[in-house]
Structure 1
Amino acid sequence: MAKKNRKANSLYQLKVTLISSKPPIWRRLIVQDNIRLDQLHFVLQTAMGWSDYHLHQYRVGNDCIGIPEPDFDFDVKDERKVYLHDIISKPKDYVIYEYDFGDGWEHKILLEKILPLDSFESPIVIKGSQACPPEDCGGIWGYYDLLKAIQDPTHEEHESMLEWVGGEFDPDAFDMKAINNNFKSLAF
């Protein structure tokens, strides 16, 4: 699967959608086609709003790509040796990115367009919708329970859940400028 890295030939416009989120939680990103998957992991963490507290992997068909763990009893290809152009190469190709195996946050990464290399700086978010769920809230269903509790002052867990999220949480918040500023701190 892994090919020798080559100089970037193009940019990929990706749509990253948190599976089962309603309304959809998504980001539209521009990245170089030759980004390594370990680097893409940090781009995804930054774009979505996760904090990289948990394990992750990519799933392409029956293949798992991530950080090999000798203590685990399944075959994982090393993400530090796989480039994005190795696993998706034409529009409508996609890969699943799973973050936090306990909560099971699954993201569909869809290649929407291939763009000329000089079209955008990269990585960059060009569009998106909705706030990222808080870490450790119990997956998509736990997130919906959290939203019910914090949005209903009569809910028995309203105060404790508000305190747990730091006093307030706006599920509609999406700050593209802040995400793009945070990308500047990524060093590949």
Structure 2
Amino acid sequence: MARAIIQLRITLDGVEPTVWRRVLVPGGFTLDRVHRVVQFAMGWGDRHLHVFDIDGMQYGVPDPDGLLDVRDELDTRLDAVAQKGGRLRYTYDFGDWWEHELTVEDVYPADLDAAYPACVAGERACPPDDVGGPDGYRDLVAALADPAHPDHAAMREWLGRPFDPDAFDPSLASTLLRRMT
């Protein structure tokens, strides 16, 4: 039997216009690998903690002190928790609190000639890490768009690179995803 490919739509909550990605992920990936798919496809820097919330259970990196009730993401495969039409929640950076909805759009057999994981579509750039969550991102976009904005120069300096909030290249995201395997 061919391995299952799960088509996920990843949508970042709290940001308008919507930032989203469509990715194709092998069902046999464990949630730690799905975490990396989200990171590479979205454009995050993987510098903060994360957690999946699936049917009331949380999955992530186990807390060595046992203070958090989190199941080990290494022990759970995507195909065990994702069915067509289902939704998973993923939170990245407990300070900025970036919430994502992962919608299972489809499940189908792998194309033996295709490489997985892959990003096949999406729109808009991911906010930079440490920008201050959705409110901080709105402030950044407003400041960068207006050279007369009082924070324009400071935000450009803080960012340290050009940033186009409307730019996204699925082929670049796919290249990054293939390097993770």
Shared topology, TM-score over 0.5?
yes
TM normalised by structure 2 equals 0.94
| Deviation of 1:116 (Å) | 1.7
- Say whether 1:127 aligns with 2:121: yes
**Following superposition of structure 1 onto structure 2, how do residues 1-188 of structure 1 map, counting pairs within 5 Å?**
9-71=3-65, 73-89=67-83, 91-118=84-111, 120-187=114-181
Q: CA RMSD in A?
A: 1.5
> TM-score when scaled to structure 1?
0.91
SS in 2 for 1:51: coil
SS where residue 133 of structure 1 aligns?
coil
Question: Does the 8 Å CA contact 2:120/2:171 hold for their aligned counterparts?
Answer: no
Query: What displacement does 1:185 show?
Result: 1.5
Alpha-carbon distance, 1:167 to partner? 4.1
Answer whether contact 2:115 2:178 (CA < 8 A) is retained. no
Q: 2:161 & 2:79 partners in 1: Cα distance?
A: 42
CA contact under 8 A between 1:9 and 1:33: conserved in structure 2? yes
CA distance in 2, matches of 1:38, 1:32: 13
Residues 160-169 or 46-55, more deviating: 160-169
Amino acid across the alignment from 1:39: R
Local SS of the residue matching 2:79: helix
Q: How many residues align?
A: 180
Cα deviation, 1:49-100, whole Å, max 9, x if unaligned, reads 01110000100132110001123522100000001011112x2101001100
Deviates more, 1:68-77 or 1:121-130: 68-77
8 Å Cα contact 1:8-1:34 kept in structure 2? no
Give the whole-Å Cα distance in 1 for the aligned partners of 2:175 and 2:41. Answer: 10
- Name the CA distance, whole Å, in 2 between partners of 1:72 and 1:56: 16
Distance 1:48 1:56 in 2: 14
CA drift at 1:9 = 3.0
The verdict on how the C-alpha distance between 1:133 and 1:169 changes in structure 2, with shifts beyond 3 A counting, is same
Partner of 1:4: none
